[in-house]
Amino acid sequence: MTSAPVQEGVIDLLVASMTWEQKLAQLQIAFRPRLEDAADLVRSGIGAVFWPRSAASTNELQRIAREETPHGIPLLVGLDVVHGQRTTFPVPLAQAASFDPATAETDARVSAHEAASGGVNWTFSPMIDVSRDPRWGRVVEGFGEDAYVNAVFGASKVRGYQGESLRDRDSILACAKHFVAYGQAEGGRDYNTVDVSMQRLRNVYLEPFKATVDAGVATVMAAFNTVSGRPAHANHLLLTSILKGEFGFNGVVVGDADGVVNLLDHGIAEDLPDALLQSFAAGLDVEMGGNVLSDDGRLRLSPGDVPLERVDDAVRRVLNLKLALGLFDDPYREADHEVTTPSPASRRATLMAAEKGLVLLKNESVLPLGPAPKRVLLVGPYAESTDHLGAWIQSFAEPTGSLADAIGEECPEWSLTVREGTGFFGGQSGHIADAVADAADFDAVVVAVGEPSALTGEASSRSDLRLPGAQEELIRAVAATGAAVAIVMFNGRPLVTSGWIGAVPAILEAWHSGLEGPRAVARALSGAVNPGGRLPMTFPRSSSQVPIYYDHENTGRPATVSGSLDGAAVDVALMGPGNTDDHYTSKYKDLDLGPQFPFGHGLSYTSFEYGDLSLTHSRITMEDLRAGQSIEVTIDVTNTGPCKGDEVTMLFIRDLVASLAQPVRRLRGFTRSSLQPGETITLSFELGWNDLGFWDNEGLYIVEPGAFEIHVGGGLDDTRVFNLHLRP
Ligand code: GLC
């Protein structure tokens, strides 16, 4: 957790000299928008505050803490720096689409530098809640449906925020959230019930948190939801036995905003003191909301309500972090060095991140449009909208321009005509006919649609995943003109496109891609950049098809098409559309099988071909594997197309027979490669004990002998398969 050697002596002396009230005051964080109110809170001894919006204000609060409180304990200063402070990076879901963890680490590094310069020393990020239900608005904040992708990206963000040492001036505490399984909220309704088996809890939801703990994350935030009946905020099994005990987490567990207060509505606490008591006893260390002290300054917990050693442990954890950050030596920031606007370098970094997150969903010879002079019609609510920063962006983030602005700058040879056609929420559909009447006269029509960021993020679940308002009507109207059409989608979750996808030849998924998102899209439309991103979440055919995800169990009656593709029987549940002649199988009678676009889907302006797969072992014993022997998997990939491009190569395993039903695929490795036309590279992956096993319902990790399939290629529907035999 901390790289600095902890000076236990200092901490022990301090804890021994603190009163009960002073200890409890360290175990909460509160937000007071007015500086004078925050100052009063600090004088009362509170250990942490939300960022007061400037280095100067933060310095004043730190000064009060250092000079006007009995022990002069400096403050933790927290803020949700989720994907940017002044320079906004693409939303985390878009970063996951890059399948390039360095993108996330760069975001975290730049964000930490900018936030730390203002006095922030704690961010409530990364969010690593695996979710398979795009109705849930918070899918935008995480890294998609796969546990391994969330684990890799979460660990990268931790390294980016915390740097080589927490004492570095540009390092801030990271916070893995929300512990745990928040992404399985029933019905995709935020804050709702989660009831999950132990095997799924460990194989899917806990894996990313273990990865961030192993990466040294300093804090973890408890989730709002129950986990199999017990709210996470008061769940001793989760917070203490698994997180602190089994995972060895020695940092701070912080509650979510009023998550302790919510225990009353959960119906597991009589009153606020009871809620606080249950939470701290379960392993919570810091309450978020300032409810430990009542407004008149009275403590809500008396000595003995919570075992003193538990309180002292929590205080030590908090003070250890303050020591590791170097706050006891110097909690102040040079106010005139505060970063308040993006630098050219940070703009370049977020532009690259936005370009890497673009996913070409469909392209029948329309894109790229090329830089040469041409008449282009740009229509749709996102033609001139500047709503590209996405969820969790603060008021002080640098604003961005529109797609129309970016095209004007990046495609100067184009003659651009811009018409809105319709708004986000309909009502203006009467403009559609006017907007598209002469569409066929243009060389190309770009339709910029999407969901406004206000429909994404916390407390923003949607029951209908289609484009809101009359946007589908606009798309169909443009398609009906026979013009060369390209759709660009700006959204924060998988959307349903089935109402119009058959009518259009090209779709570019652009997400809410941050400060330079519009520029990235303009460059992709012209061909200056070749999209190489892949979907980190499955796109369903219908809102009622969710949850839908790639690493599903096969079930006892999988629906498959009996036909074939290039002579090889395919499992259509993986491959997508196609009806089935199997009656008694798992499917909807009124919907084609499989998703609209599967996890990992993404096209390119070029093409790639894979060579043969080879493994160092086609058979290996359990004993060798347990002893640390690994299997090296290698494959060649070649750019066989006309231009430079990035290819994401993925490695999946399938355990064909096991004591628990296993997913039809599990991602265990991925890499993104840039290849010039004609270039071939050899990629290698390692598979070991920790890749071939699974957790059972008794909480044991087991590897079982038998046959495995190793799939490697450019995604679910494009892999070379190798059979591996694990001998007893
Ligand atoms: C919110 C979110 C959490 C965030 C916290 C502080 O309710 O659930 O992710 O970090 O409050 O803003």
Q: So what's the pLDDT on residue 461? A: 98
Rounded to the nearest whole angstrom, what is the distance from the C-alpha of residue 125 to the centroid of ligand 1?
10
Q: So what's the pLDDT on residue 428? A: 58
Domain ranges of the chain: 5-335, 351-526, 608-727
With a cut of 50, list the residues of the chain below it in pLDDT: 1-6, 429, 562-580
Q: So what's the pLDDT on residue 580? A: 45
**Euclidean distance between the first and final Cα of the chain, in Å?**
38
Q: Is 256 in the pocket of ligand 1 (CB under 6 A)?
A: yes
Residue nearest to ligand 1 atom 3, measured at CA: 256
Q: What would the pLDDT profile of 350-360 be if each residue is shown by its tens digit? A: 999 999 999 99
CATH number for the segment(s) 351-526: 3.40.50.1700
- DSSP 8-class letter at 206: I
Q: So what's the pLDDT on residue 342? A: 98
Q: Which residue is it, tokens 């002396």?
A: 13
Residue nearest to ligand 1 atom 6, measured at CA: 257
Residue nearest to ligand 1 atom 10, measured at CA: 124
In angstroms, the Cα distances linking 50 to 20, 35, 288, 460 are 23, 11, 10, 23
Rounded to the nearest whole angstrom, what is the distance from the C-alpha of residue 495 to the centroid of ligand 1?
25
Extract the tokens encoding 66.
């250092």
What pTM, to 2 d.p., does this model score? 0.96
Residue 231 φ/ψ, nearest 5 degrees: -55, 140
Question: Which of 112, 120, 55 minimizes the C-alpha distance to 83?
Answer: 112
Rounded to the nearest whole angstrom, what is the distance from the C-alpha of residue 257 to the centroid of ligand 1?
6
Q: What would the pLDDT profile of 408-439 be if each residue is shown by its tens digit? A: 999 999 999 999 999 998 655 458 999 999 99
- Class for domain 5-335, per CATH? alpha beta
Residue nearest to ligand 1 atom 12, measured at CA: 80
Q: Is 141 in the pocket of ligand 1 (CB under 6 A)?
A: no
Q: So what's the pLDDT on residue 562? A: 36
Q: Is 704 in the pocket of ligand 1 (CB under 6 A)?
A: no
Q: Is 256 a catalytic residue?
A: yes
**Ligand 1: which atom is nearest the Cα of residue 259?**
7
> Strands, E, within 627-717: which ranges?
631-639, 645-655, 666-675, 680-687, 694-695, 701-702, 706-713
Q: So what's the pLDDT on residue 255? A: 98
CATH number for the segment(s) 608-727: 2.60.40.10
Which residues fall within 8 angstroms of residue 576, CB to CB, at 6 or more apart? Answer: 592, 593, 594, 595, 596, 597, 598, 717
